[in-house]
Structures are given as C-alpha cells and as structure tokens.
Amino acid sequence: MNIDHNYFEIPEGFYPIKDFEDSYAISKNGEIMRIKKTHGAKSGKILKNQIHNKRGYATIRLSTKEFSKSYDVHILMANFFLGRVDDSLQVCHNNGIKTDCRLENLRLDTRSENEKDKVLHGVSNRGERSGNNKYSKDLILKIRKELELNNKPKIVSEKYNIPYSYIIHIKNKTKWAWL
C-alpha cells in the first residue's frame, strides 16, 4: 500500500471546501483545517482566524499553487452549508457577534433584517456609534422634548447651537428616527 504523506485523512465533521478540495476542509463550528501538507505547513492543523481590523469579521487566508486569497469565514460557512450568498441575501449572525461563525449562529436573510439584528444587538453604527455623529442621544431627546412642547425650531436651534435644518430633520424624524 502506498501512502501519500502530504495528505491528511479528513476527520468526521469536516468537509472539503469547494475550489480547495485538495487543501482545506470546513466544519459546522466554523473551523478551517489544512488537509494537505505544504512548505512548512502541517496537514491536520486547524487554521487560526484573523480579525479584519476595520470590519471586525473573522477572516482566513486560503492558498493554492495558483493563488492566495482572504475570505470572510461567515461567507465561506454560508456558501457551503446554507446556499450561495448573492446580492439579495446577507449572512446574519444571530447573536450579533461577528467572529462567531458556528453554523447554528448564521442564517441568510435580507439586508433589512440584518440591519434590524444590528439594532437589536446594539452594534448598529447609527446615532452615537456613527463616525459622522456630533450629538449625543441625550441631547437629541432634549431637543425632541422641546419640539413636542411646541417650541419653535428656530429657537431650539439657537439654544443648542445646532443648525436649523438639522433641528427640522429631528422634528420630522428623518434623523434619529428610532428614538
């Protein structure tokens, strides 16, 4: 019997990744395993995810002789276990943790539902979490209260030194509408 020592028998619960069948396998726990020995890399090793600095998602670099590319682990998981991700669907993390790529934590849903999840989990980048925001939630609530008491937007604008147009947006709920 001739044994190829460059390959590792894929353990139960791991499945070869499409386009990387000879090199990598994926599990329902979001783990990626190297199944082919390469220069200095051992077969049978679970690869360590990297965290994308700007977006906060777990990423992994997969390589062949022809190319090397980084992938979001949650996208790999969804494409393999849930069906192809396309423009109409996004991968949602049920618990709101971007690095938790277990299959039980992922689902395909619309962009709208994904945004609702972000609000529910407190990870939406609106309001005080937005990089463009200048005002606090408490200040907006004060302004809204004054507007509800029939104070004129011009007076509220001058009192808080906030542009009149922004006060109108607050009043009409085109900004900070969720408050």
Give the pLDDT score at 99: 93
Does residue 3 form part of some domain? no
Q: Going by C-beta distance under 8 Å and a sequence separation of 6 or more, which residues neighbour residue 80? A: 15, 17, 18, 26
- At residue 178, what are phi and psi to the nearest 5 degrees? -75, -10
* Cβ(49)–Cβ(73) below 8 Å: yes
User: Domain limits at 151?
Assistant: 133-172
Domain boundary among 74, 96, 121: 74
Does residue 90 form part of some domain? no
Give the pLDDT score at 1: 39
Does residue 44 form part of some domain? yes
* CATH number of the domain where residue 39 is located: 3.90.75.20
**Binned average pLDDT, 10 residues per bin, the chain of 179 residues:** 56 89 92 82 83 85 86 94 87 93 95 87 70 80 89 90 90 82
The count of structural domains within the chain is 2
Give the pLDDT score at 47: 87
Does residue 120 form part of some domain? no
